[in-house]
Structure 1
Amino acid sequence: MRLSTKGRYAVTAMIDLAIHDQERPVTLAEISNCQGISLSYLEQLFAKLRRSGLVKGMRGPGGGYRLAKPSSEISIAAIILAVDERMDSTLCNGREDCQNGERCLTHELWSRLSDQIFEYLDSINLATFLELAAERDTPESQPREVLREENPVCFN
């Protein structure tokens, strides 16, 4: 399985939203600035995330985006699927025509790997991820209070 930039950026942006979710809506410009993701690319991703019911837009002054569900109900797999990413390690995209139109000898191995990857990513939700990140001792994942003192907008 190869996770493209689209999937990685979508997960990163959703984690950024989850960090701020109890405080205020977050603008795409803020996410772009903090995470180094192109604003136009974020607009494309958020259109898909909105259609999938993962985010909701808030208009007007102080507007931006918020999670459409509690962070505990949004899995990493759901985010990746929402932006049309495939989670398939087979060469044939699951069609079983890997070798000259026939199923290859290792198709089942790669298919099961794809299933395991999906199950793992589906078992991690945004809330769980934030809890895990807060437990680590590295500076980039210090508890929110420490990060808020250093930079009130960006939590890299």
Structure 2
Amino acid sequence: MRLTTKGRYAVTAMLDLVLHSDQGPVSLSAISDRQHISLSYLEQLFAKLRRRGLVKSIRGPGGGYCLVMSTQDTYVADIIDAVDENVDATNCSGEANCQEGEVCLTHHLWTDLSDQIHSFLSGISLASLVERREIQQIASRQNLRERNQIVMTMVE
């Protein structure tokens, strides 16, 4: 199975957005700092997420991004699909030309696996991820690190 950095980063960034949306729109620079994802890469991902109607941008001071739909209605598969990521376990990228231009013996097995993975990710909402204790612990650690960096900057 190939799930590239694009899909992983998009899901990570959306989860970060949800975890920090209680304070209003979330800036991409804040997500970039917390998740160590390039700002220019996030801009590309969020342009795709916005075009697919998963996020909206708020301009001006205090602007940033927020979810369009509720966390219960936003699924991991939607995010991955929005950034043109393809969860594909085949060796031919789903083209059915695996063996000298023809379908190989196991093509349908790997296609079925890809479908199962997509179905699995379609059942995981952002809300269900946020509820996980591990996610909350990691977010707390990141928030503490962010606060410490702010304090250190103020002291200097």
TM-score (norm 2): 0.87
For 1:2-81, list aligned pairs within 5 A. Answer: 2-81=2-81
| 1:150 paired residue number | 144
Distance 1:130 1:117, change over 3 A: same
Q: How many angstroms does 1:150 deviate by? A: 3.0
Q: Which runs of 5+ in 1 are unaligned?
A: none
- Computed over aligned residues only, the root mean square deviation of the Cα atoms, in angstroms, reads 2.1
Distance 1:95 1:149, change over 3 A: closer
TM-score (norm 1): 0.87
Q: Which runs of 5+ in 2 are unaligned?
A: 149-156
Q: How many angstroms does 1:108 deviate by? A: 1.2
Tell me the alpha carbon deviations over residues 105-144 of structure 1, each in whole angstroms, 9 at most, x when there is no partner.
Answer: 0111101110110011110010001112x2x4xxx63297
Q: How many angstroms does 1:77 deviate by? A: 0.6
Distance 1:70 1:99, change over 3 A: same
Distance 1:130 1:40, change over 3 A: same
Q: How many angstroms does 1:97 deviate by? A: 1.4
Distance 1:29 1:124 in 2: 26
Distance 1:5 1:58 in 2: 26
| 2:118 paired residue number | 118
Q: How many angstroms does 1:147 deviate by? A: 5.4
Larger CA deviation: 101-110 vs 14-23: 14-23
Q: Say which SS state the counterpart of residue 77 (structure 2) adopts.
A: helix
Distance 1:36 1:153 in 2: 16
| 1:107 paired residue number | 107
Q: Say which SS state the counterpart of residue 114 (structure 1) adopts.
A: helix
The structure whose residues are more often helix, as a share, is 2
Distance 1:149 1:13 in 2: 15
Could you tell me whether the CA contact under 8 Å between 2:72 and 2:127 is conserved in 1?
yes
Q: Percent identity?
A: 55
Tell me the alpha carbon deviations over residues 21-59 of structure 1, each in whole angstroms, 9 at most, x when there is no partner.
Answer: 233111010001110000011110010000000110011
Distance 1:88 1:74 in 2: 21
Distance 1:110 1:128 in 2: 28
Could you tell me whether the CA contact under 8 Å between 2:10 and 2:80 is conserved in 1?
yes
Q: Say which SS state the counterpart of residue 124 (structure 1) adopts.
A: coil
The answer as to 2:136 corresponding to 1:141 is yes
